[in-house]
Amino acid sequence: MILILNPNTRLHSQEYQQLMDHLAALQGVQVRVHKEQGVEQTLIELYLIGDTKQLEIADMQNLPCVERVVRVSQEYRILGRHKDDTRPAHFNYNGVRFGQDTLNIFAGLCAVDTPEHVERMLRALRDNGQVCTRMGAYKPRTSPYAFQGHGKNCLPYVFDLAGKYGIKVVAMEITHESHLDEIREALLMSGNPTGVMLQIGTRNTQNFELLKIVGRQQEHPVLLKRGFGITLDESLNAAEYLASEGNRNVVFGLRGMKTNMGDPHRNLVDFAHVPVVKRLTRMPVCVDPSHSVGSRAASPDGILDIMHATAQGVLAGANMVLVDFHPTPPQALVDGPQALLLKELPYFLEDVQIAREAYLRRCALAEKFKEK
Ligand code: PEP
Ligand code: MN
Protein backbone atom coordinates (compact mmCIF):
# COMPACT_ATOMS: atom_id res chain seq x y z
CA MET A 1 0.00 0.00 0.00
CA ILE A 2 1.21 3.49 -0.84
CA LEU A 3 0.23 6.59 1.13
CA ILE A 4 0.73 9.71 -0.94
CA LEU A 5 1.07 12.65 1.42
CA ASN A 6 -0.14 16.22 0.92
CA PRO A 7 2.36 18.27 -1.08
CA ASN A 8 4.89 20.05 1.10
CA THR A 9 4.17 17.96 4.18
CA ARG A 10 6.92 18.84 6.66
CA LEU A 11 8.85 16.00 8.25
CA HIS A 12 9.07 17.92 11.51
CA SER A 13 5.37 18.75 11.77
CA GLN A 14 3.22 17.35 14.54
CA GLU A 15 0.79 15.80 12.02
CA TYR A 16 3.59 13.89 10.33
CA GLN A 17 4.79 12.62 13.69
CA GLN A 18 1.25 11.50 14.56
CA LEU A 19 1.00 9.66 11.26
CA MET A 20 4.33 7.91 11.77
CA ASP A 21 3.41 6.93 15.33
CA HIS A 22 0.16 5.42 14.09
CA LEU A 23 1.94 3.44 11.37
CA ALA A 24 4.67 2.27 13.74
CA ALA A 25 2.00 0.69 15.93
CA LEU A 26 0.64 -1.49 13.09
CA GLN A 27 1.60 -5.14 13.55
CA GLY A 28 3.66 -6.71 10.77
CA VAL A 29 3.84 -3.57 8.66
CA GLN A 30 7.07 -1.76 7.81
CA VAL A 31 7.20 1.77 6.47
CA ARG A 32 9.60 3.00 3.81
CA VAL A 33 9.73 6.73 3.14
CA HIS A 34 10.30 8.01 -0.39
CA LYS A 35 11.00 11.71 -0.81
CA GLU A 36 10.99 13.44 -4.17
CA GLN A 37 12.32 16.98 -4.34
CA GLY A 38 10.56 18.72 -7.24
CA VAL A 39 11.15 22.27 -8.44
CA GLU A 40 8.05 23.61 -6.75
CA GLN A 41 7.25 21.10 -4.08
CA THR A 42 8.46 18.11 -2.14
CA LEU A 43 6.43 14.95 -2.52
CA ILE A 44 6.51 12.26 0.12
CA GLU A 45 5.18 8.76 -0.39
CA LEU A 46 5.10 6.11 2.30
CA TYR A 47 5.38 2.50 1.22
CA LEU A 48 3.72 0.12 3.63
CA ILE A 49 5.24 -3.31 3.26
CA GLY A 50 4.11 -6.57 4.85
CA ASP A 51 0.69 -7.50 6.13
CA THR A 52 -1.30 -4.64 4.60
CA LYS A 53 -4.43 -6.65 3.73
CA GLN A 54 -5.80 -5.84 7.19
CA LEU A 55 -5.71 -2.11 6.43
CA GLU A 56 -8.81 -0.36 5.09
CA ILE A 57 -8.27 2.30 2.44
CA ALA A 58 -10.88 4.59 4.04
CA ASP A 59 -9.12 4.41 7.46
CA MET A 60 -5.74 5.20 5.95
CA GLN A 61 -7.23 8.03 3.93
CA ASN A 62 -8.32 9.71 7.17
CA LEU A 63 -4.88 9.76 8.73
CA PRO A 64 -3.13 13.14 9.06
CA CYS A 65 -1.10 14.35 6.04
CA VAL A 66 -2.50 11.65 3.74
CA GLU A 67 -3.78 12.88 0.41
CA ARG A 68 -4.34 9.60 -1.40
CA VAL A 69 -4.00 5.86 -0.84
CA VAL A 70 -3.10 3.29 -3.50
CA ARG A 71 -3.41 -0.40 -2.82
CA VAL A 72 -0.63 -2.23 -4.59
CA SER A 73 -2.03 -5.47 -5.83
CA GLN A 74 0.52 -6.42 -8.42
CA GLU A 75 4.26 -6.48 -8.73
CA TYR A 76 6.51 -3.51 -9.52
CA ARG A 77 5.36 -1.61 -6.45
CA ILE A 78 6.87 1.74 -7.34
CA LEU A 79 7.10 1.79 -11.11
CA GLY A 80 4.02 -0.35 -11.77
CA ARG A 81 0.54 0.78 -12.71
CA HIS A 82 -1.95 -0.09 -10.03
CA LYS A 83 -5.70 0.22 -9.71
CA ASP A 84 -6.82 3.86 -9.23
CA ASP A 85 -3.19 4.85 -9.61
CA THR A 86 -2.91 8.37 -10.96
CA ARG A 87 0.79 8.80 -10.31
CA PRO A 88 2.59 10.41 -13.25
CA ALA A 89 4.10 8.44 -16.13
CA HIS A 90 6.70 11.07 -16.96
CA PHE A 91 9.60 13.08 -15.56
CA ASN A 92 11.63 16.08 -16.63
CA TYR A 93 15.38 16.15 -16.81
CA ASN A 94 17.52 19.12 -17.83
CA GLY A 95 14.58 20.71 -19.62
CA VAL A 96 13.58 17.56 -21.54
CA ARG A 97 10.37 15.68 -20.80
CA PHE A 98 10.48 11.89 -20.74
CA GLY A 99 7.05 10.31 -20.59
CA GLN A 100 4.81 7.63 -21.95
CA ASP A 101 3.35 10.43 -24.08
CA THR A 102 6.55 11.85 -25.63
CA LEU A 103 9.18 10.74 -28.13
CA ASN A 104 12.89 11.58 -27.86
CA ILE A 105 15.54 10.51 -30.35
CA PHE A 106 19.01 9.64 -29.04
CA ALA A 107 21.13 9.31 -32.16
CA GLY A 108 24.89 9.18 -31.62
CA LEU A 109 28.08 7.21 -31.42
CA CYS A 110 27.99 3.68 -30.02
CA ALA A 111 31.54 4.36 -28.83
CA VAL A 112 33.37 7.66 -28.61
CA ASP A 113 36.56 7.37 -30.67
CA THR A 114 37.91 10.81 -31.64
CA PRO A 115 36.95 14.40 -30.71
CA GLU A 116 36.50 15.08 -34.46
CA HIS A 117 33.89 12.35 -34.81
CA VAL A 118 32.08 13.50 -31.67
CA GLU A 119 32.00 17.05 -33.01
CA ARG A 120 30.75 16.03 -36.45
CA MET A 121 28.02 13.93 -34.87
CA LEU A 122 26.89 16.67 -32.49
CA ARG A 123 26.96 19.35 -35.16
CA ALA A 124 24.71 17.21 -37.36
CA LEU A 125 22.32 16.73 -34.44
CA ARG A 126 22.16 20.46 -33.73
CA ASP A 127 21.61 21.21 -37.42
CA ASN A 128 18.67 18.81 -37.33
CA GLY A 129 17.10 20.27 -34.20
CA GLN A 130 18.11 17.46 -31.83
CA VAL A 131 18.93 17.98 -28.14
CA CYS A 132 19.76 14.40 -27.08
CA THR A 133 22.48 11.95 -28.07
CA ARG A 134 24.15 8.69 -27.15
CA MET A 135 27.90 8.56 -26.51
CA GLY A 136 29.60 5.41 -25.24
CA ALA A 137 32.67 5.98 -23.08
CA TYR A 138 32.65 2.68 -21.19
CA LYS A 139 32.07 -0.29 -23.48
CA PRO A 140 31.31 -3.78 -22.18
CA ARG A 141 32.90 -6.04 -24.81
CA THR A 142 32.69 -9.76 -25.38
CA SER A 143 36.45 -10.05 -25.89
CA PRO A 144 38.91 -8.67 -23.33
CA TYR A 145 41.17 -7.76 -26.27
CA ALA A 146 38.56 -5.55 -27.95
CA PHE A 147 38.50 -1.76 -27.51
CA GLN A 148 36.98 -1.06 -24.09
CA GLY A 149 36.09 2.61 -24.63
CA HIS A 150 38.13 5.71 -23.83
CA GLY A 151 36.55 5.90 -20.36
CA LYS A 152 37.07 9.02 -18.32
CA ASN A 153 39.67 10.43 -20.72
CA CYS A 154 37.05 11.34 -23.29
CA LEU A 155 34.50 12.82 -20.89
CA PRO A 156 35.88 16.40 -20.87
CA TYR A 157 35.63 16.85 -24.63
CA VAL A 158 32.36 14.94 -24.93
CA PHE A 159 30.69 17.19 -22.34
CA ASP A 160 32.26 20.42 -23.65
CA LEU A 161 31.18 19.64 -27.19
CA ALA A 162 27.71 18.60 -26.03
CA GLY A 163 27.36 22.01 -24.40
CA LYS A 164 28.70 23.76 -27.50
CA TYR A 165 26.05 22.12 -29.70
CA GLY A 166 23.11 22.56 -27.32
CA ILE A 167 22.79 18.91 -26.33
CA LYS A 168 20.80 18.63 -23.11
CA VAL A 169 20.97 14.89 -22.43
CA VAL A 170 23.72 12.38 -23.27
CA ALA A 171 22.88 8.69 -22.77
CA MET A 172 26.05 7.01 -21.51
CA GLU A 173 26.48 3.45 -20.31
CA ILE A 174 28.27 2.78 -17.06
CA THR A 175 29.42 -0.65 -16.00
CA HIS A 176 30.91 0.15 -12.60
CA GLU A 177 30.11 2.53 -9.77
CA SER A 178 33.44 4.35 -10.25
CA HIS A 179 32.15 5.50 -13.65
CA LEU A 180 29.39 7.43 -11.91
CA ASP A 181 31.99 9.35 -9.89
CA GLU A 182 34.05 10.01 -13.01
CA ILE A 183 31.01 11.38 -14.85
CA ARG A 184 30.04 13.56 -11.90
CA GLU A 185 33.54 14.97 -11.65
CA ALA A 186 33.91 15.60 -15.38
CA LEU A 187 30.53 17.37 -15.49
CA LEU A 188 31.55 19.53 -12.56
CA MET A 189 34.95 20.38 -14.05
CA SER A 190 33.38 21.42 -17.33
CA GLY A 191 30.69 23.51 -15.59
CA ASN A 192 27.73 21.16 -16.19
CA PRO A 193 27.25 22.04 -19.87
CA THR A 194 24.93 19.07 -20.46
CA GLY A 195 23.04 16.32 -18.65
CA VAL A 196 23.75 12.58 -18.54
CA MET A 197 21.25 9.75 -18.59
CA LEU A 198 23.03 6.73 -17.13
CA GLN A 199 22.59 3.61 -19.21
CA ILE A 200 22.68 0.14 -17.70
CA GLY A 201 23.42 -2.25 -20.53
CA THR A 202 21.84 -5.61 -21.22
CA ARG A 203 24.84 -7.43 -19.72
CA ASN A 204 24.25 -5.65 -16.41
CA THR A 205 20.47 -5.70 -16.15
CA GLN A 206 20.70 -7.99 -13.15
CA ASN A 207 23.86 -6.54 -11.63
CA PHE A 208 21.90 -5.80 -8.48
CA GLU A 209 24.68 -4.04 -6.61
CA LEU A 210 25.23 -1.65 -9.54
CA LEU A 211 21.47 -1.09 -9.74
CA LYS A 212 21.32 -0.24 -6.04
CA ILE A 213 24.16 2.26 -6.33
CA VAL A 214 22.69 3.93 -9.40
CA GLY A 215 19.26 3.88 -7.73
CA ARG A 216 20.58 5.71 -4.67
CA GLN A 217 21.39 8.84 -6.64
CA GLN A 218 18.63 11.02 -8.02
CA GLU A 219 20.61 13.55 -10.05
CA HIS A 220 20.76 11.41 -13.22
CA PRO A 221 17.88 9.51 -14.80
CA VAL A 222 18.55 5.95 -15.89
CA LEU A 223 18.01 4.03 -19.11
CA LEU A 224 17.78 0.39 -18.10
CA LYS A 225 18.10 -2.05 -20.98
CA ARG A 226 16.17 -5.29 -20.89
CA GLY A 227 18.38 -8.29 -20.18
CA PHE A 228 18.94 -10.20 -23.41
CA GLY A 229 18.42 -13.65 -21.93
CA ILE A 230 15.91 -13.19 -19.11
CA THR A 231 12.16 -12.74 -18.95
CA LEU A 232 10.44 -9.39 -19.23
CA ASP A 233 9.26 -9.79 -15.64
CA GLU A 234 12.85 -10.23 -14.45
CA SER A 235 13.95 -7.10 -16.31
CA LEU A 236 11.03 -5.07 -14.93
CA ASN A 237 12.01 -6.19 -11.44
CA ALA A 238 15.52 -4.95 -12.18
CA ALA A 239 14.01 -1.53 -12.92
CA GLU A 240 12.19 -1.76 -9.62
CA TYR A 241 15.57 -2.15 -7.88
CA LEU A 242 16.48 1.36 -9.10
CA ALA A 243 13.17 2.78 -7.91
CA SER A 244 13.19 1.01 -4.57
CA GLU A 245 16.52 2.64 -3.79
CA GLY A 246 15.09 6.08 -4.59
CA ASN A 247 15.46 6.78 -8.31
CA ARG A 248 12.23 6.43 -10.22
CA ASN A 249 13.31 8.43 -13.25
CA VAL A 250 13.80 5.28 -15.24
CA VAL A 251 13.34 4.64 -18.96
CA PHE A 252 13.03 0.98 -19.94
CA GLY A 253 14.91 -0.07 -23.07
CA LEU A 254 14.04 -2.88 -25.50
CA ARG A 255 17.04 -4.01 -27.55
CA GLY A 256 16.19 -7.46 -28.83
CA MET A 257 16.66 -10.90 -27.31
CA LYS A 258 19.65 -13.16 -27.75
CA THR A 259 18.61 -16.24 -29.71
CA ASN A 260 19.48 -17.68 -33.09
CA MET A 261 15.77 -17.52 -33.89
CA GLY A 262 16.35 -13.88 -34.79
CA ASP A 263 18.97 -14.65 -37.46
CA PRO A 264 20.05 -12.95 -39.61
CA HIS A 265 19.29 -10.07 -37.23
CA ARG A 266 21.74 -9.71 -34.37
CA ASN A 267 18.93 -10.21 -31.85
CA LEU A 268 15.25 -11.10 -32.04
CA VAL A 269 13.42 -7.77 -32.27
CA ASP A 270 11.04 -7.51 -29.31
CA PHE A 271 9.31 -4.19 -29.96
CA ALA A 272 5.86 -5.76 -29.69
CA HIS A 273 6.56 -5.43 -25.95
CA VAL A 274 6.43 -1.61 -26.07
CA PRO A 275 2.71 -1.50 -25.18
CA VAL A 276 3.17 -4.32 -22.65
CA VAL A 277 5.74 -2.36 -20.65
CA LYS A 278 3.57 0.77 -20.86
CA ARG A 279 0.60 -1.20 -19.54
CA LEU A 280 2.45 -2.87 -16.69
CA THR A 281 4.49 0.14 -15.59
CA ARG A 282 4.62 3.93 -15.75
CA MET A 283 8.06 3.95 -17.39
CA PRO A 284 8.67 5.58 -20.77
CA VAL A 285 9.85 2.87 -23.19
CA CYS A 286 12.92 3.12 -25.41
CA VAL A 287 13.69 0.98 -28.45
CA ASP A 288 17.19 0.36 -29.74
CA PRO A 289 16.89 -0.75 -33.38
CA SER A 290 20.69 -0.73 -33.91
CA HIS A 291 21.55 -3.42 -31.36
CA SER A 292 18.42 -5.38 -32.26
CA VAL A 293 19.06 -5.57 -36.00
CA GLY A 294 22.84 -5.19 -36.04
CA SER A 295 23.42 -4.50 -39.74
CA ARG A 296 22.69 -2.11 -42.58
CA ALA A 297 20.79 -4.73 -44.57
CA ALA A 298 17.89 -3.34 -46.57
CA SER A 299 14.72 -4.91 -47.92
CA PRO A 300 13.62 -4.78 -51.58
CA ASP A 301 11.58 -1.65 -50.82
CA GLY A 302 14.91 0.13 -50.29
CA ILE A 303 14.35 0.69 -46.56
CA LEU A 304 16.99 -0.45 -44.06
CA ASP A 305 15.88 -3.12 -41.56
CA ILE A 306 17.02 -0.71 -38.80
CA MET A 307 14.53 1.87 -40.06
CA HIS A 308 11.77 -0.73 -40.39
CA ALA A 309 12.40 -1.87 -36.80
CA THR A 310 12.45 1.75 -35.59
CA ALA A 311 9.11 2.38 -37.28
CA GLN A 312 7.66 -0.75 -35.67
CA GLY A 313 8.68 0.50 -32.23
CA VAL A 314 7.43 4.04 -32.79
CA LEU A 315 4.18 2.83 -34.34
CA ALA A 316 3.63 0.82 -31.16
CA GLY A 317 4.10 3.92 -28.98
CA ALA A 318 7.82 3.93 -28.13
CA ASN A 319 8.96 7.03 -26.24
CA MET A 320 12.63 7.02 -27.03
CA VAL A 321 14.86 5.71 -29.82
CA LEU A 322 18.50 4.95 -29.15
CA VAL A 323 20.29 4.61 -32.46
CA ASP A 324 23.88 4.29 -33.65
CA PHE A 325 25.26 6.79 -36.18
CA HIS A 326 28.85 7.39 -37.24
CA PRO A 327 30.51 9.94 -39.56
CA THR A 328 32.70 7.23 -41.12
CA PRO A 329 31.46 3.77 -40.03
CA PRO A 330 34.50 1.87 -41.39
CA GLN A 331 36.60 3.78 -38.84
CA ALA A 332 34.24 3.13 -35.93
CA LEU A 333 35.90 1.17 -33.13
CA VAL A 334 32.65 -0.51 -32.07
CA ASP A 335 29.60 -1.59 -34.09
CA GLY A 336 30.49 0.21 -37.35
CA PRO A 337 28.45 -2.25 -39.49
CA GLN A 338 25.19 -1.17 -37.85
CA ALA A 339 25.84 2.59 -37.87
CA LEU A 340 23.71 4.95 -39.92
CA LEU A 341 25.46 7.75 -41.82
CA LEU A 342 25.26 11.42 -40.92
CA LYS A 343 23.70 12.18 -44.28
CA GLU A 344 20.93 9.72 -43.35
CA LEU A 345 20.02 11.66 -40.20
CA PRO A 346 17.36 13.97 -41.78
CA TYR A 347 15.90 10.94 -43.61
CA PHE A 348 15.83 8.90 -40.40
CA LEU A 349 14.16 11.70 -38.44
CA GLU A 350 11.51 12.21 -41.10
CA ASP A 351 10.83 8.49 -41.26
CA VAL A 352 10.39 8.44 -37.46
CA GLN A 353 8.03 11.39 -37.73
CA ILE A 354 5.82 9.47 -40.19
CA ALA A 355 5.59 6.54 -37.75
CA ARG A 356 4.90 8.88 -34.81
CA GLU A 357 2.09 10.63 -36.67
CA ALA A 358 0.63 7.26 -37.61
CA TYR A 359 0.80 6.21 -33.92
CA LEU A 360 -1.02 9.37 -32.81
CA ARG A 361 -3.68 8.80 -35.47
CA ARG A 362 -4.06 5.22 -34.21
CA CYS A 363 -4.57 6.56 -30.66
CA ALA A 364 -7.24 8.96 -31.93
CA LEU A 365 -8.94 6.10 -33.78
CA ALA A 366 -8.91 3.93 -30.65
CA GLU A 367 -10.46 6.80 -28.72
CA LYS A 368 -13.18 7.26 -31.37
CA PHE A 369 -14.17 3.59 -31.24
CA LYS A 370 -13.87 3.25 -27.48
CA GLU A 371 -16.97 1.79 -25.83
CA LYS A 372 -18.56 4.61 -23.89
C1 PEP B 1 24.96 -0.05 -26.30
O2 PEP B 1 23.87 0.57 -26.31
O3 PEP B 1 26.02 0.46 -26.66
C4 PEP B 1 24.99 -1.43 -25.85
C5 PEP B 1 26.13 -2.05 -25.55
O6 PEP B 1 23.79 -1.97 -25.79
P7 PEP B 1 23.28 -3.34 -25.11
O8 PEP B 1 23.57 -3.22 -23.67
O9 PEP B 1 21.82 -3.32 -25.46
O10 PEP B 1 24.03 -4.44 -25.82
MN1 MN C 1 27.09 -1.12 -29.58
Same domain, 152 and 31: no
Same domain, 62 and 142: no
Closest ligand to the CA of 137: 1
Tell me, using a 6 A CB cutoff, whether residue 225 lines ligand 1.
Answer: yes
Rounded to 10°, the helix 305-315/345-368 angle is: 30
Identify the domain boundary among 38, 71, 104: 71
Percent of the chain residues past pLDDT 90, beyond the cut? 89
288 lies in some domain? yes
Mutational pocket test of ligand 1: of 202, 228, 254, 258, the residue with most ligand atoms within 8 Å of the beta carbon: 202
Percent of the chain residues past pLDDT 70, beyond the cut? 99
Identify the domain boundary among 14, 36, 71: 71
pLDDT tens readout for residues 37-95: 776 778 899 999 888 888 999 999 999 999 999 888 668 989 999 888 888 899 999 99
Same domain, 67 and 112: no
CATH code, 348:
3.20.20.70
Stretch among 74-88, 221-235, 293-307 having the lowest mean pLDDT:
74-88
Same domain, 265 and 322: yes
Ligand 1 atom closest to Cα of residue 203: 8
Structure confidence at residue 75 (pLDDT): 83
How wide is the angle at C-alpha 310 spanned by C-alphas 262 and 355, nearest 5°? 140
Same domain, 164 and 256: yes
106 lies in some domain? yes
Same domain, 199 and 63: no
Instruction: Check whether 105 has a pLDDT greater than 80.
Output: yes
Q: Which domain holds residue 48?
A: 2-71
| Alpha-carbon dihedral 360, 364, 370, 372, rounded to 10 degrees | 130
The amino acid present at 285, given as its one-letter code, is: V
48 lies in some domain? yes
Structure confidence at residue 42 (pLDDT): 81
Residue burial 32-59, b: 16+ Cβ < 10 Å; e: rest:
eebeeeeeeeebbbbbbeeebeebeeee
Question: Nearest residue CA, atom 10 of ligand 1?
Answer: 202
Tell me, using a 6 A CB cutoff, whether residue 136 lines ligand 1.
Answer: yes
Same domain, 42 and 112: no
Residues with C-beta atoms within 5 A of ion ligand 2: 110, 335
Structure confidence at residue 36 (pLDDT): 77
| Alpha-carbon dihedral 9, 14, 15, 19, rounded to 10 degrees | 110
Same domain, 307 and 197: yes
202 lies in some domain? yes
Where are any strands of DSSP class E within the chain?
2-5, 29-37, 42-50, 66-70, 90-93, 96-99, 104-109, 132-135, 169-173, 195-200, 222-225, 250-254, 285-287, 320-326, 340-341
In 3D space, the residue among 86, 4, 74, 3 whose CA is nearest the CA of residue 41 turns out to be 4
Same domain, 48 and 120: no
Q: What is the DSSP letter of 344?
A: G
CATH code, 54:
3.30.70
pLDDT tens readout for residues 124-175: 999 999 999 999 999 999 999 999 999 999 999 999 999 999 999 999 999 9
78 lies in some domain? no
Structure confidence at residue 199 (pLDDT): 98
Domain total for the chain?
2
Tell me, using a 6 A CB cutoff, whether residue 248 lines ligand 1.
Answer: no
Instruction: Check whether 293 has a pLDDT greater than 80.
Output: yes
Structure confidence at residue 8 (pLDDT): 84
342 lies in some domain? yes
Identify the domain boundary among 17, 37, 71: 71
325 CB contacts (<8 Å, ≥6 apart)?
107, 108, 109, 121, 124, 339, 340, 341, 342, 344, 345
85 lies in some domain? no
Cβ(23)–Cβ(48) below 8 Å:
yes
Same domain, 32 and 112: no
Instruction: Check whether 359 has a pLDDT greater than 90.
Output: yes
Angstrom distance (rounded) from CA 343 to CA 329: 12
Same domain, 258 and 295: yes
Same domain, 63 and 97: no
Closest ligand to the CA of 255: 1
Mutational pocket test of ligand 1: of 110, 205, 223, 270, the residue with most ligand atoms within 8 Å of the beta carbon: 110
82 lies in some domain? no
